[in-house]
Amino acid sequence: MKALFIPLAAFGSLLAALICFALGLILPIVRLDYLYVWTNTYSIIGVIEALAASGEIFLAGVLLVFSVLFPTAKIGCLMAAFMRARRGDAWPEARARKRLDWLGKWSMLDVLILALVVFYAKVQLLSDAAALSGAYFFAASVLFTMASNPLIAASVKARPKVGAGSIRLIASRTRPPDSAPS
């Protein structure tokens, strides 16, 4: 039972991370109200486009790398590791797993920056801000991605080991009995 549940949990976590990540990129992440009259909503993709259009290429590039490309690469690497693990290949060395864990911690940086923007807007006298659904989907994507790494490692450990002894045992059960010498 455990050998079936853990790989399903790992796959489910990766799939949820991918869906939440896509929704987190396209749905509005923050609503800013100015003078309690004007309201703007922004998505991650919308912010990158607006920064690039206004000439802030460096900021748009940093946001693109750390909010879009980096999480996409991480989810892709985890998907590849999951597929390798399901084929029976070895899970990447401990050093690579530690790197993925370390990089996963930096994924929450975008969520922290969004929280700071909302806090800053709220302490201003004539403005207000609120986190919207995109922010929650983006944060959920980060959490699902962080959870999938140990689940993939556990699914490799939960696989039944098939070694040379197991193959000999299976072969001896399937071989017809030797005929008696005549």
Sheet with 38-43: strands ordered across: 38-43, 28-34, 127-131
Q: Give, rounded to a whole angstrom, the gap between the first and last alpha carbons of the chain.
A: 49
Per the listing, tokens 């005929």 go with 179
Alpha-carbon gap, residue 117 to 87, rounded angstroms: 44
Alpha-carbon gap, residue 87 to 38, rounded angstroms: 55
> Which amino acid would we find at residue 124?
Q
Residue-wise pLDDT tens digits, 64-120:
888 888 888 888 888 888 887 777 766 566 666 677 777 766 666 777 776 666 666
Copy the structure tokens of residue 66: 């750390």
User: What's the pTM value of the predicted model, to 2 decimals?
Assistant: 0.74
